[in-house]
Every structure is written in C-alpha cells, then in structure tokens.
Structure 1
Amino acid sequence: MNKAHVIEHLRFALEAQLTTAKVAAKTAHDTATHEENIAENKYDTLGLEAAYLAQGQAQRVNDCYKNIELFEPVFNEKPTDKIAIGSLVCLEDDNAAQKWFYLGPAAGGLTVNVKQHAIAVVTPGAPMGKQLLNKQIDDEITLTIADVAHEYMVVEIL
C-alpha cells in the first residue's frame, strides 16, 4: 500500500465533502431567503425551518474546513514504530482477512478506496482508534461489536 496515494485520496474526499456541503448550504440559503417562504401568518413556519436548515448547512461547511485544516499537518507526519495520528494501519483477523485504517484527527467514518482496498478513517475518540493508539506490529487488539469479540493483529504501519 502506498501511503502517498492514500493521502491524495483522503485529500480529494475531504475536498469533495466540502464541495457537497457548500452546494447544500447555498441551496438551503436560497430556499430560506426566497420570497415564497416569507411567513404569511404566525403559523407559517416554512421560512423559519428553512433558515434553521441553512444555519446547519453553514455549520457543516465550517466543519469541513476545520477537518481539512486538522488533516494538513498530519499528512506530513513521518511513520513511526507505534501507531499515532497519521498512521496508515493494516489489521488482520484470524482468517487472514486484512482491513486498512487511517488514524485521523477528524472525519471518522470517511472511507476511500485505493487499489481495491477500502481504507476507513478512525479517530482516537472511537473505540477502534483508542485501541490502535501506541500499538506496534504484531500487537493484538480486541474490538467488541454487538457482544461479539473480534480479534485483530497489527501487521503493517505506514
């Protein structure tokens, strides 16, 4: 796995999220300020609801900018022996199935596909992220999902 390619895919995905959020915010703002949404009486709340939506979409745009800002210094981190924020990690289960994760500062749940591998971003605040921090190659982690324990071994850190 080439970490530089993964980082480029993550950059593109973060920018795509920002673009989508901007379009949604613009649409919500236009709806909120459209003349057809002016309240005709005190029970007409369409304009108010549209304004709340516009405010939420504007916050989403701000969050996207913040995520991009948080990732930039992390993308330049040098690999270490221990998993840290900015590490690209390969885990292997008992059946030798591999899963790739990028330990990021934000945007948990974001997934990118690189050469037929899905790489999921996890944050240190997530259960998986907490378990990964400071682990080394050949360390094991156990993650319990729906009362079922899943065991993984760290096989690669980039």
Structure 2
Amino acid sequence: MDKAALQQQVLERLAGDLLQAEEAVRAAHETATHEENIAENKYDTLGLEASYLATGQARRAEAIRAAMATWRQFRPGPYDAGLGIQRGALVCLVDAGGQQQQLFLGPAGGSMTLVSGAQRVQVISTDAPLGQALLGKCDGDEVSIQVGGSRQQFEVLRVL
C-alpha cells in the first residue's frame, strides 16, 4: 500500500468536506440575512437560528482547513521496529473473532474510510483511543481498549 496515495485521498476527501461546509455557511448566511427572516416579534427566531448555524458551519470549515494544512505538512515515514507504531504507520489488526482491519494512523481529521486496491483502510488519529493504544506497539503485540461498557482486544498482525 502506498502511504502517499492514501495521504492524497485524505486531502481530496477533506477538500470535498470543505466545499460542503463552505456551501452550508453560504446558505445559512443567506437565510440569516434574508429580508423575509427579519424578526417581527420575540418568538420569531428563524434568522437568529440561521446565524447560529452559519457560525457553527464556519467553525467546521476552519477545522477542516486546519486538518488539511496538517495533512499537507505530514510526511509518513517507513516503519521502524525499534520505535514501534508511530504516526504514519499502516497497521493490520485482527480482533478476537478473526476479523482483520487496516488502519492508517494520521495526524488529524481521521474517521474516514479509504480504498487502496481491493482493501479498505480506516484513517484514525493518534489522538483516538485506538490510535493512542497502538503507539509503540510492534508485530504480534496485543492491544486492548475500552469501548462503552466492553473491552475490545486486537492483535497487531503487521505494520508498514
């Protein structure tokens, strides 16, 4: 798997998310400032609600821009067994039921699934609980995280 290609997919996905967020900002701003939405009494809050929505969408767009800047500067290196899993690693995990999953540990803006060849790759941040648990681990190590009321266990099959 090519880490640079995965990184490019992340940037493309973030760019699409940014376009959607910016369009949502424009639409909410237009609604908030439209002359038909001027409050006629204290119970007429459509314009106010739209302005809150526009503010939230603007914050989301700014967060996406920050994630894009972080991903542009990110340079995933080769796996170093002496350091164990670090940011930029491609990790194959297997759970107790034998189900395998591919993970790409990124710097920010995770929670997306990419496709590399025939494989699905889940992007997670090293700030996520599983990302934190993986740091420093090597092939064959076990990883355990608490999710809700249950504990999930994984074995690291391979790292690139």
Q: Same fold (TM over 0.5)?
A: yes
> Number of paired residues?
157
**Separation in structure 2 between the aligned mates of residue 6 and residue 22 of structure 1, nearest angstrom:** 24
**Separation in structure 2 between the aligned mates of residue 19 and residue 53 of structure 1, nearest angstrom:** 16
**1:4 matched to 2:27:** no
Among candidates 98, 101, 104, match of residue 99 of structure 1: 101
Is the 2:103–2:122 contact (alpha carbons within 8 Å) kept by the matching residues of 1? Answer: yes
Displacement of 1:29 in angstroms is: 1.1
Where does residue 78 of structure 1 map in the other structure? 77
Closer, same or farther: CA 35–119 of 1 in aligned 2, 3 Å:
same
Segments of structure 1 that go 5 or more residues without pairing to the other structure are none
- Secondary structure class of the residue paired with 1:155: strand
Q: Deviations over 1:50-91 (max 9, x none)?
A: 1010011111110110010111222x2312322112222111
Among candidates 117, 127, 130, match of residue 128 of structure 1: 130
Where does residue 114 of structure 1 map in the other structure? 116
Displacement of 1:95 in angstroms is: 4.6
Where does residue 52 of structure 1 map in the other structure? 52
- Secondary structure class of the residue paired with 1:40: coil
Where does residue 40 of structure 2 map in the other structure? 40
- Larger mean CA deviation between 113-122 and 60-69 belongs to 113-122
- Larger mean CA deviation between 76-85 and 21-30 belongs to 76-85
Is the 2:7–2:71 contact (alpha carbons within 8 Å) kept by the matching residues of 1? Answer: no
Q: How does 1:53-68 map to 2 (within 5 A)?
A: 53-68=53-68
Where does residue 69 of structure 1 map in the other structure? 69
Is the 1:9–1:114 contact (alpha carbons within 8 Å) kept by the matching residues of 2? Answer: no
Q: Deviations over 1:100-133 (max 9, x none)?
A: 1121222132222333433222222221011011
Segments of structure 2 that go 5 or more residues without pairing to the other structure are none
**Separation in structure 1 between the aligned mates of residue 150 and residue 50 of structure 2, nearest angstrom:** 43
**Separation in structure 1 between the aligned mates of residue 73 and residue 9 of structure 2, nearest angstrom:** 16
Is the 1:13–1:112 contact (alpha carbons within 8 Å) kept by the matching residues of 2? Answer: no
- Secondary structure class of the residue paired with 1:86: coil
Report the residue type matching 2:44 in the other structure. D
Report the residue type matching 1:64 in the other structure. I
Q: Percent identity?
A: 40
Where does residue 146 of structure 2 map in the other structure? 144
Report the residue type matching 1:133 in the other structure. L
CA RMSD between the two structures: 1.8
**Separation in structure 2 between the aligned mates of residue 8 and residue 156 of structure 1, nearest angstrom:** 23
Displacement of 1:146 in angstroms is: 4.3
Report the residue type matching 1:78 in the other structure. G
**Separation in structure 2 between the aligned mates of residue 6 and residue 144 of structure 1, nearest angstrom:** 28
